[in-house]
Structure 1
């Protein structure tokens, strides 16, 4: 397949709902004055060293403009403290430790104490508060950030085990936010009437990282002995994963090898199908994914259709395509809208339809226009996404200062 010439991040964007107009010179966008705002505190429900996804992509790029602090949810321990974990790229992960047995109200008070001590110690004055979880507002609503951003990457209230007060806290956060970003177009449609400044930024792509998979890469040891064809999935295996679909596919085609990368969380392992052609290889480092993808035949997105997948925009869709893999997905709305309607990805709603689609890809009949796929991917880079987000933040800050 042909890899098209690289296009600049300032190329015209695909015209989809909620997408801000792309600007010329996207790599030279305005930023906050150095003496005004130079810190960004990210409140996250996901741990930095968990699966490498949206928060990691964006916060690593935010380091170009700000000193970034990534505050995780607390760990239960024997003493109260805040650990500083400096990353190689300069970002600092903050990990609160709370004593075992701390009651909920006391846990909120202690986290409030820890963040106040941190802000004083690090001389954080004017800063951006960037939220991935509304629950962090419980201990941070007393802060006075220069700008509040809600990056709504998922509809967390639809996930198993969601706190009962999450929706109420999200309403408070949206009311306080200066700008709201969403992780997909379906989420944008769900939030657009709740705030005057809501913008859709669906899953983007680090094209250079994954496109190396289009050239032969050493086959990782834990899949080296597996025969072909190999149909792979990479991501968190949880309530969003259609394990029944996988089981039926594996039974229908025992000669196909199904490889699954990623942690298994919030789901009974006993429910997951087992078989000689199903291989759970565990979580892999982001840097190692191209080697796995390079030695697969097909990338699959076997997501269940339930409340927890109604608004998702899977990051793996563009990553599989950048790696040169044909992709078959269940009819997730944002995948259909962005990739299925453009005929970049095949959509299948049953094991039988998945089987037919995989056969078509194996026979080289899909996809047929890799140049169009590459042009789309390169126009939707994480670099561009961050630059556009930062442009909107600067604009929102200017309005705030004028008021």
Structure 2
């Protein structure tokens, strides 16, 4: 902040040298007491030159205080209460306000402190009342300021509600001293507070924050959850490795973090891929590591030494807000707030109970009052309208109310309220009615938060002990059931697709997407996508090919799959299908490098698990590959859309296909398509590690090494479902954009003029398109510069109209309108923004060969590899 020219007052971390104190624009304080801080801030605000600089620089300055709730007694304070929803206390508060006004509106409480009791109307969301209230309040405050003779007043605001008049009182300086996180105070209208605070932050000259958020240590910030943590001495007397091994084995997708000095051989514990041994850390840094933990461990062996111990770290864990999993140490048991379990099995059960407590505490909505179900029903229907039609206008809300599943949602809310009122017979009757009319079975104690949506209710089965957060969306034929009386816990913003099954004591983190027909039996971390295992359908499709039976084999490379791919392939009885499973996730390029040498045929045909070949596709690929001078063959991928909607992915792919066809006529096909292409095994070139675009880099590297032509075969057809999630598709395009520039590290020799048509095609089809975003920016800036000339002014207007069409495109789509020109503009701009983002990621070195597939149908992370014999 000093470098930016901002005045700063802060408490020094650690000892300061004798020369510390006033350092440029920063005041560093050894003593964090209130009086010292108040004095420093007062001096800052008394510095006329500094305040004038703040005013000249606009309203973007920030001042942060570490400690101290009072500043100085000579500042007038404008205090308001956070806006609450209307409740029974309002009449009492109005009466109190009227009595205060009647007695004395402006009251002197200290020599330099006055309090004002203005008369204000409660708006409660009414824009008309709000406008009147703001006008009345501003007039009363300005009148009091004139009465007291204020000159160039400084408005020091503590509450977001002051936003209604802040900046409208003729202040010379507006300071927002943020002392609480008002968005998380129970009983206030969070949406209204958020809007008011945003307005206040925009208007304020200075923003003062009373605390700094604790950040998670970088070493644990990105670890997959759940994360179990331990800090302390690791020795034979105080550390039982078998307990840590049990935790690591029970949650292989999670993480175990060990911090501290070790005087013992951790053996197999440290060799486990999901165990992080971080060594000793400064004591002051431990809170940052604790913030990244889901639960804390105390794996003491049960000995006479440990039974006599009173471990301080238990209290440190609890002070950090962590559930503690411990063996039965008497002093730990006496605390009463820990989860106790002995032996590996008991310790795992205690850890599971600890996690369940955390999930239930975080995800369960607060019990509503008696009027809540009606409010929640309205929110549910609006959420469904937004999901189905893109907005919750009155018309769309009515339409959503009449759709399948809405009646079941309403009946569920009524049953939920009856259960909370302990009217069990009524709840049971409503549940039976829901089964009859809604076609679903929802346990009467199943508890979901706000904005709960049943997209379709037919066949939905939800166990009575299931708990869920807000914004959960469920399609038809979904089962969320118990196993051994333990049910799933569902986070907020979770989507569960048609036919999916979530069984047993699993946790779905916030934002998890479960694809159609997926079976979830393990925890899914926040933001994860769980997809249905379609490898069985892919195997069936591959085995139905008309290629000769005895000249075909199928190798399936499973890259740490979690969708039962390994089990399905292992159960396949056809001897031509082989599974190559890899525990460590290395990405598609890594899988190809390890799988291809295992093939026994002369020709390799590559495909993905969610791609389906026409019966004659392999025969056409191999027939063309046998021609002289042919290095590889790329088939034609058709994206199908089961919703018959226009989508950017399909339009783009038709454009790509037409270019490949033209390049094929010139003998200059660039790369292939990972969904369907073939190459001789002897020409396969191992891909560089971390390769993102394997189907571009692989064929062109083979061409550079072995020569020959890459051919496009339009009669070798495969199909794949087009993308529906445009945000996920945008992320995929960003990743491809980064991979484009990454590929130049290996493919730059293709730009040699000696490559003929291939050089021209690579320059025009690839390189020129990759830098199109940069050219677009250059063109726009140039047009702005030359806008005084009529021709360039017209070009500028055309560009502005084109970009405007791209911006309003999503809005038109949400209203059910679909214009080809607007769709084209939206697609073109989105694609080039993705390319630009990819370019920036490449510059940062943000490159990864592992990726999550865009939600196209029921895609899986597994890679299907077909190998064929060319002889005959």
TM-score norm. by structure 2 comes to 0.17
TM-score norm. by structure 1 comes to 0.34
Bigger helix share: 2
Task: Please identify the structure whose Cα radius of gyration is greater.
Answer: 2
